[in-house]
Amino acid sequence: MQRSLLQHADEPGALLPILHDVQDALGYIPAHTVPVIADALNLSRAEVHGVVTYYHHFRAEPAGRHVIQICRAEACQSMGADALLAHAELRLGCSAHGTSKDGAFTLEPAFCLGLCASSPAMTLDDQPHARMTPKAFDALVAQDNNP
């Protein structure tokens, strides 16, 4: 984190690149990093916390070993994303914004993955998957849950 602070501190709009660096390194933005970042950028803790909680990409809690994002945009909803999300919640045993009890998967809603013509869409560890069905979802989860 210190390297990122030094690299970006004097840049306009430094907060977002620093938050991205912290999350890339740690997998989330721990609460104890917020005051350090705020002090380095001469911002309030509330300003930094507000950015972390505003952007869906940032996490304040650790994610599972794998992150699943299911698109919630209109095109995907019209093609069955609600049913896919409900199936994913049952299959993983957690709700959206949650992590499975075994820590293997975090399930997150996404708001347009850019695969509207191939909906419903999802990503698994940032890899896009289109025209998803519950059966295809189960196959992906089984494949990525094997050590």
Domain locations along the chain: 2-54, 66-144
pLDDT string in tens for the chain (147-residue length): 788 888 888 888 999 999 999 999 998 999 999 999 999 999 999 999 999 998 878 999 999 999 999 999 999 999 999 999 999 999 999 999 999 999 999 999 998 999 999 999 999 999 999 999 999 999 999 987 765
Q: Which of 119, 122, 115 is nearest to 138 (CA)?
A: 122
Fold of 66-144: Glutaredoxin (3.40.30)
Beta bridge pairs of residue 127: 124
Whole-angstrom distance, CA of residue 130 vs CA of residue 138: 14
pTM of the model: 0.79
